[in-house]
Amino acid sequence: MKSQRRRQLKTNVLAQQIEHAPDLLKQYGGKILLLIVVAALASILVRRIISSRQEAQRTARSQLAIARDSINELSRGDAQFFDPESRAANRRRLSLDAQNAIRAVRENTSDTTLLAEASIADGDLNWHLANLPPIPGSATRSSLNLPETPDAYLKRAQDAYQFVLNNYPDDHFAAAAAHFGLAAIAEDRNDWNTAQSHYNAVINDPAAYESYKTIARERLDRLAEIQKPVFVGAVTTRPMLEDLFPATTHAASQPSTQAATRSATQAISQPATKPAR
């Protein structure tokens, strides 16, 4: 009897709920629908944010590749341009293309790895601009010169590499590239102690790639050779720099650093191809 009574009560409660359902829908239906719409819009927004970030990452990587291509082309030289004005225009174009691409990387991503690589590219660009040989006739024709002096570009390169060490020290790939870049700058300035300290920083980094450490040791050995005096015997005229340093394209005040530093930065600061440990 009691169980039957309980079933009747449950049936009555359910009947009352069904009876009052339209009133509940009238009272709360709009709010429920609003919550459903908000949830759907939030889901769409999250998907778009994720998609936007992925697109920004792709754009940043693409721009970084453009910057690298421009820097590599700049480093290969421009002897194919026989007209001095064309040679100067090509240098300005490549420099501007690389600068715009590096700026686009920084504007399109917050990924620290890409930002570190963008700063390395910035340093490499300015290092190459500082070390470009003068175009014949540039001493009397200012239109053949770049907007900044070699010293100014070298300072910009130094700031870019140091920025990596200050802000992305845990990115061991970028940090090694920055040390090599700063060592190259120190060699340009005949600052052998500073160059040595940067090579040692790579060698002593337990997380650095072994191939980087090998290059750093080779650079240290090269430093010891660079600093040795060159004895050419008793001569009455100064030997041609090209005979002593065939790969040198820099001015006579820096005859022994150009070939050494160029291979250092090119061997290290290529983010697309990381060597195996």
| pLDDT 10s digits, 14-41 | 455 545 555 544 555 555 555 665 565 5
Tell me the angle at which helices 258-268 and 112-131 cross, rounded to the nearest 10 degrees. 160
Q: Count other C-beta atoms under 10 Å from residue 66's C-beta.
A: 18
**Token pair for 78:** 């421009």
Q: Are 165 and 175 in contact (CB under 8 A)?
A: yes
Q: Rg of the chain over CA atoms, in angstroms?
A: 32
SS3 category, 168? coil
Q: Are 196 and 162 in contact (CB under 8 A)?
A: no
SS3 category, 121? helix
Alpha carbon distances (Å) from 137 to 109, 249, 251: 42, 16, 15
Q: Are 112 and 169 in contact (CB under 8 A)?
A: no
- Average pLDDT of every residue of the chain: 75
Q: Are 252 and 239 in contact (CB under 8 A)?
A: no
* Per-residue pLDDT, 132: 92
Alpha carbon distances (Å) from 216 to 148, 184, 188, 211, 227: 31, 11, 17, 9, 17
The answer to which of 55-69, 163-177, 223-237, 263-277 has the lowest mean pLDDT is 263-277
Q: Are 76 and 132 in contact (CB under 8 A)?
A: no
| Helical residues (DSSP H) of 76-109, grouped into ranges | 84-108
**Token pair for 60:** 């940043």
* Per-residue pLDDT, 256: 32
Helices (H) and strands (E) in the chain, counts: 9, 0
* Per-residue pLDDT, 75: 87
Q: Are 126 and 154 in contact (CB under 8 A)?
A: yes
Specify the residue for token string 């990452």: 57
pTM of the model: 0.67
CATH number of 10-268: 1.25.40
| Helical residues (DSSP H) of 148-206, grouped into ranges | 150-167, 172-188, 192-203
